[in-house]
Structure 1
Amino acid sequence: MRTYAFETVDVFTQTRFGGNQLAVFTDARGLSDAEMQSLAAEMNYSETTFVLPPDDPADTARVRIFTRSHEMPFAGHPNVGTAFVLARHGRDRDGLLRFEEIAGLVEVKVARDASGEVTGATIAAPQPLSTGIELPAEAIAAAAGLAPADVVVANHKPVRASVGVHFVLAEVTAEALGRATPDLSHFRVVRNAHPGLEGRFSLFVYARDGANIRARMFAPIGGTWEDPATGSASATVAALLLSLDGGDHAAFTLTQGVEMGRPSLLQLTAQRSADGIRATVGGSCVPVFQGEALL
């Protein structure tokens, strides 16, 4: 029998049982792709990570990220949480880690308190902002269980965008955000009606008040009815808002997970660079469980 150690953490929170849950298998050597996928399904978190030796010895690790149903090229809270776990094991170099992922290299800065204890991390998204198809407000409203008037289109139409993994971003009114309820049948209708979604449809709805953002994320087709903290989507929103507002740099505070009873706090930045608009996302983490998987 083979044993594989794992740790779980709550990400984007300073309070245990808040934020977004993550399981980290700290040494995944010997696991097949199918076993990783099965373990992620068994953990039943929105994502589970598997740490492997890097291809380039200058990097910290190769990190693979699995949802309950498929592998992700990049994701926010899995990187923050994995960095937190590995830094607590002394795997960082002067407070920095570098993760090789499908979407590219993810650079991470570790956060510590005055005593030197690891408290969280900030990651740089691996790709600059890219935008794709726009979607009808009526279709997005139906998928989110809202009325078309609840979707705000004055700043941008619902749009597919990415800084490493794709989401549909839609601004909604502050009042509508709390009553949004995903409708699986309409999610499937939108996915099937728009080939530009490439068969996947994750919806990030947000309401903005200056530099403060409240958000929710629904991906029921992929098995995540609602996500308490979505770092990759949050970073994408930060980059998109900078592209719309103008300027060279912006910082935002985003709250998510309130409606789920798992409040999460994400710190975001976006900045213009030579290759486009780049974004970061960071926050605190709390350790929860340690254990072993038996295979």
Structure 2
Amino acid sequence: MSRRFVTLDVFTETPFSGNPLAVVLDSEGLDDEAMQRIAGEFNLSETVFVLPPTDARHKARLRIFTPARELAFAGHPTLGVAILLALRDARSGLTDAIAFGLEEAIGTVACVVEAGEGRGRGRFKLPVLPGYDGEGPAKTLLAKVIGLEPQDIGFGRHVPSRHTAGPSFIFIPVNARAKLDAARLDMAAFSAMDEPAALYLYAVDPEGLGHRFHARMFAPHLGITEDPATGSAAAAFAGVMMEFEPLGDGEHDVFIRQGLVMGRPSAIALQMVIESGALQSVEIGGSAVVMSEGTLLV
């Protein structure tokens, strides 16, 4: 049978930048193996399959696959599908911002989207707060894995740490933007790690005011050599901010640039709400543009 698909560039307003995403709209009848094979065929960091929701109050149920495995949650598939479904509603005459839920393995993700002409902007709220997974590996080990020196890792109060927002990440603070750009993954050293995990490198934006960062993400064990934009890592970064930054109560906006070294610049907005010194909510925002539409003959 034929199945419609759409590709989008996510966390960008500009075609040929951001993180590419494949969305299969007619996913009923596909089993786990078929979904994984289709994700391998697209060979993007993630492919998402849209299914009818289990609760009629929600918009859709999503299953998300990297080229190597299924994920319980990922940020750019969530945002991309939310914007795509809002664009389809806009074709039907619904032009205002719309809110709806998307069912994922991590829980129901609340989304708000404003749709334009072939593009849109949206945000989503995590159904669970980021979790702390412990201290990161030693700087000497991480430096070998990412091709830097131990003294390049860490700044201010920031040291390597592990946090999760669905997928788990090792967060590696790098003390200069130029060193972040120069990092290169050593696959032999990465493979020798006790538990290979997604590596999220970040550095302060030297030209930005407020909480602005540049980031890179490597996850070869998931079939992702480097990712142009990683929404789930940006969500987990809220845990990093809570651990290492002196944030007070109220709303805090964090802006993350990613994908520049790859030639696919991306912009991710993270909003945190803190009450009585505790993190209360995390939202991720950004834009997406439709790039192609077609049919899978499977």
Q: Deviations over 1:165-188 (max 9, x none)?
A: 211111102221010111111112
What's the counterpart of residue 269 of structure 1? 271
8 A Cα contact 2:97 2:114, kept in partner = no
What's the counterpart of residue 130 of structure 2? 129
Residue of 169, 185, 190 corresponding to 1:187: 190
Task: Report 1:71-220 matches (<5 A).
Answer: 71-90=70-89, 95-112=98-115, 119-134=120-135, 135-152=137-154, 154-173=156-175, 174-190=177-193, 192=194, 199-209=195-205, 210-220=210-220
Cα shift at 1:200: 4.6
How far apart, CA to CA, are the structure 2 residues paired with 1:246 and 1:27?
44
Cα shift at 1:189: 1.8
Q: Deviations over 1:58-116 (max 9, x none)?
A: 11111000000100010111101011111111188961121111111111110245xx8
**TM-score, length-scaled by structure 2:** 0.90
Where structure 2 has 5 or more consecutive residues not aligned to the other structure, the ranges are: none
Kindly indicate whether residue 205 of structure 2 is the aligned counterpart of residue 221 of structure 1: no
Mean alpha-carbon deviation: is it higher for 233-242 or for 270-279?
Answer: 270-279
What's the counterpart of residue 66 of structure 1? 65
Shift >3 Å, 4+ stretches: 91-94, 273-277
The letter of the residue matching 1:212 is R
What's the counterpart of residue 236 of structure 2? 236
How far apart, CA to CA, are the structure 2 residues paired with 1:278 and 1:165?
18
Cα shift at 1:142: 1.4
How far apart, CA to CA, are the structure 2 residues paired with 1:75 and 1:261?
22
Cα shift at 1:118: 5.1
8 A Cα contact 1:125 1:232, kept in partner = no
Kindly indicate whether residue 25 of structure 2 is the aligned counterpart of residue 26 of structure 1: yes
How far apart, CA to CA, are the structure 2 residues paired with 1:224 and 1:240?
23
How far apart, CA to CA, are the structure 2 residues paired with 1:255 and 1:61?
29
Matched length: 285
The letter of the residue matching 1:142 is K
